[in-house]
């Protein structure tokens, strides 16, 4: 690989740039540290190794009249994201109902957080008792790409609700695999006849863009991310540095230093996602004014440095002058 100039700095001298950037500095210095690391690893062809080593240890109106709801969450994480919804459903006129949650989480991620899906089951059980609502948890410890119809245990009489939170971009598309697993997964979900599907993704074009375009896109997007963190957390906080290293730095290294099937951080813009879902037979519905007002209220309580923008039927969270997701 030939040396490439970066604002007058030879690629071979990139490591010296670490003296003017810092993981504890201001946002651009913190971003610069991880950008330089990604470029160095690209040069040394070790991006995938670094990416893996940075792995973190870590209400749906369409269903309002349903008595039995099945939520399929493609990134269950800690499971606490469903607490507000379960509380709202428990307080619904007519009494409590039955909710079943299928939580998908690969073995690497779940054990890194400690006790994995078993801990999620206990947490949801406690929420069930607290709000007096019947909640059943079904754990699926596999990567999203490996999901099959049988694993989801779809049952008659249940309203299906599917959640794709920052995960679908990890599934390779036609540019990586001729079988196009990304669109295949979307079509499989369509075959479940869900009442609602929610998609949360980074508004960034790093999938099929050539390296230079991808580099500039990553620089712009992650600069906004570091700026947004800077207004809410102190720069010397250990927790902040840990989050930045295990999440943002990991993504940056993969976007910049990896290629082919080893590059799994393949974000797409809103228009592309809309096209994929439309081809699978989905129809887009904008968020209601009530849901929008609730989201905006929650955002204001968290910080006044973020804004919400409605565009093409989607809600975009904007921070630091850039868009963080859809």
Query: What single-letter DSSP state applies at residue 6?
Result: B
% pLDDT > 90, the chain? 40
Q: Which of 14-18, 82-86, 305-309 has the highest mean pLDDT?
A: 82-86
Contact 314, 270 (CB under 8 A): yes
Residue with tokens 């975009």: 316
Give yes or no for a contact between 248 and 219, defined as CB atoms under 8 angstroms apart.
Answer: no
pLDDT band of 121, cuts 50, 70, 90: very high
Q: What pLDDT, on the 0 to 100 scale, is given for residue 287?
A: 76
Centre a 10 Å sphere on the Cβ of residue 246 and count the other Cβ atoms it contains. Answer: 17
Helix (H, G, I), strand (E, B) or coil at 175: coil
The whole-model pTM stands at 0.80
Half-sphere exposure of 303 (CA within 13 A, CB side): 14
- Tell me, what's the pLDDT at 54? 58
- pLDDT for the residue numbered 32: 76
Q: In a 3-state reduction of DSSP, which class is residue 102?
A: strand
pLDDT computed for residue 61 by the predictor: 64
For residue range 44-103, what is the model confidence (pLDDT) as tens digits?
Answer: 665 566 566 655 443 476 676 788 999 999 999 888 889 888 888 888 777 658 999 999
Look at residue 9 and give its three-state secondary structure: strand
pLDDT digits (tens, 9 = 90+) for 211-262: 999 999 999 999 988 888 888 788 889 888 888 888 888 899 999 999 999 9
Angle at CA of residue 154, ends 149 and 160, nearest 5°: 110
Mean pLDDT of the chain: 82
Q: Are strands 159-165 and 196-200 parallel, antiparallel or unpaired?
A: parallel
Q: Give the pLDDT band of residue 110 (cuts 50, 70, 90).
A: low
Distance CA 220, CA 269 (A): 14
Distance (Å, rounded) from C-alpha 30 to C-alpha 39? 15
pLDDT at 18: 43
**Cα end-to-end distance, the chain, whole Å:** 36
pLDDT classification of 136: cutoffs 50, 70, 90: very high
Tokens representing residue 236 in the block: 């010397």
Q: Rounded to whole angstroms, how far apart are CA atoms 308 and 291?
A: 12
Residues shown for the chain: 326
pLDDT at 313: 81
For residue 65, give every residue at least 6 positions away whose Cβ sits within 8 Å of its Cβ, in sequence order, or none: none
Segment among 7-11, 23-27, 154-158 with least mean pLDDT:
7-11
């Amino acid at each position: 690989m030939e040396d490439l100039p970066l604002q007058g700095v030879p690629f071979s001298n990139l490591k010296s740039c670490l003296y003017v950037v810092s993981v504890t500095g201001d946002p651009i210095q913190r971003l610069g540290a991880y950008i330089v690391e990604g470029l160095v690893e690209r040069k040394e062809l070790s991006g995938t190794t670094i990416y893996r080593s940075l792995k973190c240890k870590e209400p749906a109106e369409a269903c309002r009249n349903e008595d039995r709801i099945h939520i399929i969450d493609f990134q269950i994480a800690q499971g606490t994201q469903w607490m507000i919804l379960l509380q709202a459903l428990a307080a619904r006129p007519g009494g409590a109902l039955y909710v079943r949650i299928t939580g998908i989480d690969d073995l690497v991620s779940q054990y890194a957080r400690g006790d994995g899906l078993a801990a999620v089951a206990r947490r949801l059980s406690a929420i069930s008792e607290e709000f007096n609502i019947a909640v059943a948890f079904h754990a699926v410890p596999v990567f999203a790409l490996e999901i099959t119809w049988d694993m989801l245990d779809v049952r008659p009489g249940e309203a299906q609700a599917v959640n794709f939170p920052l995960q679908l971009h990890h599934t390779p598309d036609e540019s990586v695999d001729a079988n196009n697993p990304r669109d295949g997964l979307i079509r499989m979900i369509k075959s479940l006849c869900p009442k609602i599907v929610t998609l949360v993704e980074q508004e960034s074009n790093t999938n099929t863009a050539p390296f230079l375009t991808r580099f500039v896109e990553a620089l712009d997007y992650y600069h906004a991310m570091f700026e947004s963190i800077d207004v809410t957390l102190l720069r010397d906080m250990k927790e902040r540095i840990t989050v930045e290293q295990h999440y943002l730095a990991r993504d940056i290294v993969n976007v910049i230093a990896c290629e082919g099937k080893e590059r799994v951080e393949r974000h797409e813009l809103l228009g592309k996602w809309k096209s994929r879902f439309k081809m699978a037979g989905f129809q887009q519905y904008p968020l209601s004014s009530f849901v929008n007002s609730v989201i905006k209220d929650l955002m204001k309580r968290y910080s006044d440095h973020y804004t919400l923008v409605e565009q093409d039927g989607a809600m975009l969270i904007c921070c630091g002058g850039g868009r963080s997701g859809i």
